[in-house]
Amino acid sequence: MGKPGSHTIIQVALPVPLRRTFDYLPKPDTPVNLLQPGTRVKVPFGKRQLIGIIHGVIPHSSYGDDNLKTITGLLDEEAAFGDELVTLCQWAANYYHHPLGDVYAHALPTLLRNKDDSWEEVSTRWRLTQKGRLIGFDQMKRAKRQIHALEILREHPDGLHQPLLKGFEVEPATLRALQDKGLVEQHADRPPRQHWWQEHMLAESPLTLNEEQRHALQPIIANQGFRPFLLEGVTGSGKTEVYLQAIHHCLQQGKQALVLVPEIGLTPQTLHRFQHRFAVPVVSFHSHLSDRERLTSWRKARNGEVAIVLGTRSALFCPMENLGMIIVDEEHDLSYKQQEGFRYNARDLAIIRARLLDIPVVLGSATPTLESLHNARSGRYEHLTLNRRAGKAMPPHFRVLDIRQKALTHGMAPELLTDMEARLKAGRQVLVFINRRGYAPVLMCHDCGWFKECPHCDHRMTCHANPAHLHCHHCNHQLAIPRYCGNCKSTDLRPIGMGTERLEDNLTALFPKFPVIRIDRDTTGRKEAMSRHLERIHSGEPCILVGTQMLAKGHHFPKVTLVAVCDIDAGLFAADFRATEHTAQLLMQVAGRSGRGADQGTVILQTHQPAHPLLQTLLSEGYGAFATELTNERRLLGMPPYGYLALLRAESSDPRQAAQFLNQIEHWLQPQAQALNVEVWGPAPALMPKKARRYRFQLMLRAEQRPALQQLLKQAVKKVEQDAGHRLKWSVDVDPVTLD
């Protein structure tokens, strides 16, 4: 095994906010073949010790080979990441203009980020050295504990693991003392790795595909290396069945599969569906796992012990021994985009990872983003469509309920209430959707109109009833319910408007014979709560489900035949240019919960804007036609997919500092921006100008071509990094999904 020569320099990526790597010397006795990119190392950095990742090995440092420090040590014998993930992290750091070390840190499970235990499952076995076997106890100077340890180990010639030794009352300190004398040595045992592959991979037989599904499946399994697919299939059209069969094909080639699902989409139901189908091991990654459980799943995926990884956003970085296919379900979902720190989009990085591995990648959705549709329509992705619901389910029937001038009971029109009652009496379930949790969006003084704003944000505080308090949904600040008005001291404070809690109360009063099940972030916080609610719904008893968008995604509730959307108007008039797209997606997704069983479903939409053109197109011609219209609007504005955006955000506790800073940056950027044909707008206050005590501003960069935007961003980030200093918090957001 070679030793590092005088010309072996390791480039280490460290979790520090600097956009560069750091050069170190290896320890002189380290075998060169262990210095693999993707391996964790511990290094001295200033006064601290940091955990970093070897990014590369080079012959000379541009900082001068003589000035380099030596690493403290390698943490693992095998690299945490393979070449493809090293390249992917580098790509992402460049594209999102984020420090490489932090990209790596994100890609690692938490336990590996800041602990220097090996990721490998090793147990330390202690055994005697030759000297230890021969030494006479009279030479041990009455070191009783050491003699005891030697006696025990002499009875166990193969050595003993640490916990067993503890059972014999041998302490680690004693063993270390013996080790220093050269009497005992450590041996690292690795449990054998059990490869996932087995002859019979299926635990149940697959469904017979209908013709549309067959047409969709065929090109995916045609083995042509890298190929992106957009599987556009209406809700309930059997996309998941297509994924399952595509994955089966992939497994038969001896390769693993990675399936990404939205944060809320990874319900026990989804996982069960995969586990029921396959006899080979499936693991999941989601927010309810402990760090330890995550590391175990990660290790198994990396070592090829599991066949399928099913996970949310960050699972994209899960190392896999031999990955053969990536699936991104509900590709339009906003949770694929990380909204702070390293603002990557897992859907977009899935395409890059698939390209690096030369494998197929499938983006699936009933309501694809305009970007993915554009890619499919322009031929960059292969467009597969499923237009009919699978099995016997029929598409839901839409009904727009004009509520102008209607007398509403708790925000619901009489027709809606009558319909609900009829369905409940017929033994069906009803889903009422409202995208606002809490009791009411405002608690207002009836005498003067005063209401409480969050002291740290530009936003009113939401009123919660159980437990009673005011809550800022933007910074989590909580206050007791005020007893009197902050302006006129009146005690007549009234909740105005409707949230899930209030709707739950009202519906319980209106339909006392039927249970009301509320599903939102407040009722499903604990691990088991969501499963318990879902179980109840799946029992099939007639009931009313009340919920936020958590209810809209991926669930299959065969007994639901009516979905009611109380108020869609807010979404049609929001300031964010993507709001209409998101509203339409949410509407179609929530509608997709209706009529998934044998009975046709109905969707009732209450609105004051029955003639809204986009709503009309969406309902009469479907999501595809709607998307075309919206895409044409975007073309005129030069907005994505006909243009590329990036935001430079800055925030400060001083109301002026961030704006002034971005102003300077804007002045500095303009000449280069003009040369590159990139527009720079702003600085403007963010949609939420003040959040968590900080004043927020942003510069928007827009270009017709991606390379020009990237080039300008590179210069901008370099300048900002130099000038911002420590006081100002700033970030870059490439391809933002919200302008907030």
Residue 659 near residue 618, CB atoms below 8 Å? no
CA dist list (Å): 189 to 126, 173, 185, 186, 620? 10, 20, 13, 10, 65
CB of 240: closest distance to ligand ADP in angstroms? Answer: 3
599 binds ligand ADP (CB under 6 A): no
CB of 274: closest distance to ligand ADP in angstroms? Answer: 12
Interface residue with Zn ion, options 121, 447, 505, 569 (CB under 5 A): 447
Closer CB to ligand ADP, 242 or 400, in the complex: 242
Closer CB to ligand ADP, 238 or 396, in the complex: 238
Residue numbers 517-556 binding ligand ADP by CB under 6 A? 556
Which of ligand ADP, Zn ion, none is residue 390 near (CB under 5 to 8 Å by kind)? Answer: ligand ADP
Residue numbers 225-244 binding Zn ion by CB under 5 A? none
Site size for ligand ADP (CB under 6 A): 16
Distance of CA 233 to the CA centre of its chain: 23
Residue numbers 240-259 binding ligand ADP by CB under 6 A? 240-241
Interface residue with ligand ADP, options 94, 124, 162, 210 (CB under 6 A): 210
Relative orientation angle of helices 239-252 and 211-220, to the nearest 10 degrees: 40
SS in 3 state form for 258-307? EEECCCCCCCHHHHHHHHHHECCCEEEECCCCCHHHHHHHHHHHHCCCCC
Task: Tell whether omega for the bond before 467 is within 30 degrees of 0, i.e. cis.
Answer: yes
CB of 353: closest distance to ligand ADP in angstroms? Answer: 23
Which of Zn ion, ligand ADP, none is residue 619 near (CB under 5 to 8 Å by kind)? Answer: none
Nearest residue to 251 (alpha-carbon basis) of 356, 351, 324, 359 = 324
Cα(146)–Cα(140) distance, integer angstroms = 8
Residue 161 near residue 167, CB atoms below 8 Å? no
Residue 45 near residue 23, CB atoms below 8 Å? no
Interface residue with Zn ion, options 472, 498, 519, 712 (CB under 5 A): 472
Question: Residue 325 forms beta bridges with which residues?
Answer: 257
Residue 440 near residue 464, CB atoms below 8 Å? no
365 binds ligand ADP (CB under 6 A): no
The tokens describing 515, both together, are: 């249970």
Closer CB to ligand ADP, 233 or 396, in the complex: 233
CB of 379: closest distance to ligand ADP in angstroms? Answer: 24
143 binds ligand ADP (CB under 6 A): no
Cα(544)–Cα(515) distance, integer angstroms = 6
Closer CB to ligand ADP, 243 or 433, in the complex: 243
Residue 117: count other Cβ atoms within 10 Å of its Cβ.
11
Q: Tokens 């008039």 identify what position?
A: 573
| Stretch in the footprint of ligand ADP (CB under 6 A) among 89-97, 157-165, 208-216, 534-542 | 208-216
CB of 237: closest distance to ligand ADP in angstroms? Answer: 4
Interface residue with Zn ion, options 104, 450, 695, 697 (CB under 5 A): 450
601 binds ligand ADP (CB under 6 A): no
Residue numbers 378-417 binding ligand ADP by CB under 6 A? 390-391
Phi, psi (rounded to 5 degrees) for 499: -125, 180
Which of ligand ADP, Zn ion, none is residue 490 near (CB under 5 to 8 Å by kind)? Answer: Zn ion
Contact residues for Zn ion, defined by CB under 5 A: 445, 447-448, 450, 454, 456-457, 472, 474-475, 477, 485, 487-488, 490
Contact residues for ligand ADP, defined by CB under 6 A: 207-210, 213, 233, 235-241, 390-391, 556
